[in-house]
Amino acid sequence: MNPLNHVAIIMDGNGRWGLKNKNSRNSGHKEGLKVIEKIIKETIKQKIKYLTLYAFSTENWRRPKKEIDYLFNLLENFLISKIGELDKKKIRLKIIGAKAFSKKLNKLLIAAEKKTIKNDILQINLALNYGSKLELINAFKRISNSQDEINEKNLIKYFYTKNIPDPDLLIRTGDTKRLSNFLLWQLAYSEIYFEKKLWPEFNENDYIKIIKKFKRIKRNFGKI
Ligand code: FPP
């Protein structure tokens, strides 16, 4: 059975769920946040050490301001009300992406990272204002300005995901089969599962089923 150390998730389908069920895209985001909490609990139960969640991409800035404001407000309230609980459960929160938000949100994110830095039950990497192409360009720029030889081991030191093992498993909900500029380098050998359900419909049992399938798959990493 394959060990499972790191799960990455593209939580797609909030907008469609919200429009279909409550006539507003934002209500889908609100519902999606509840699913995040369930999945965190199950991730701990499964003894998985890293969970990376794609919450906001560098391309998501193209959405209407009203939706962007709603998402960040949701995140602010989540941080304010839940960071104590995450810390108690020994969960570490790390942001991957450029912290270029409001002063208030930047401060909250930095404080949350600092407060939970020593926690070791689960590390949640929240991808916020994250774009894989930008991460790669910045890494190449920085390595070119350093004394480091350009090789795989040195290059990954310049990624947001420095010190984080690559995902073993990527799940994308929402019945869409693409990577959307997410961890393009880091997903090179990950197993990928595309789930038909929209993110707000996804639950622990769906997650457990995917994990079970993953554990049985033969992973070759280029060998035979
Ligand atoms: C993709 O669905 C989802 C997002 C862009 C946001 C993910 C956010 C949450 C799960 C809520 C928690 C919020 C934060 C910031 C932690 P979509 O809106 O692209 O759905 P669609 O494909 O149906 O339009």
- From first to last of its 224 residues, what are the pLDDT tens digits of the chain? 999 999 999 999 999 999 999 999 999 999 999 999 999 999 999 999 999 999 999 999 999 999 999 999 999 999 999 999 999 999 999 999 999 999 999 999 999 999 999 999 999 999 999 999 999 999 999 999 999 999 999 999 999 999 999 999 999 999 999 999 999 999 999 999 999 999 999 999 999 999 999 999 988 888 87
Q: How far is residue 82's CA from residue 80's CA, in Å, rounded to a whole number?
A: 6
Of 5, 60, 119, 181, the catalytic one is 60
Model pTM score? 0.96
C-alpha 209 to ligand 1 mean position (Å):
23
Annotation marks residue 148 as catalytic: no
What pLDDT is attached to residue 133?
97
Strand spans (E) along the chain: 6-10, 50-57, 91-96, 122-130, 169-172, 191-194
Atom from ligand 1 closest to the CA of residue 17: 23
Which of 11, 19, 61, 86 has most ligand 1 atoms within 8 Å of CB, for mutation?
A: 11
Q: How many CB atoms lie within 10 A of CB 167?
A: 27
CA distance 216 to 3: 10
Give residue 220's pLDDT.
Answer: 84
Residues near ligand 1 with C-beta < 6 Å?
Answer: 11-16, 29, 32-33, 36, 55-56, 60, 71, 74-75, 174, 199
Annotated catalytic, 168?
A: no
| pLDDT for the residue 224 | 79
Q: Tell me whether strands 6-10 and 122-130 are parallel, antiparallel or unpaired.
A: unpaired
Q: Could you give all domains of the chain from N- to C-terminal order, each with its CATH number?
A: 6-130+168-216 (3.40.1180.10)
Ligand 1 centre and the CA of 128: distance in Å? 11
Closest by Cα among 165, 124, 133, 143 to 4: 165
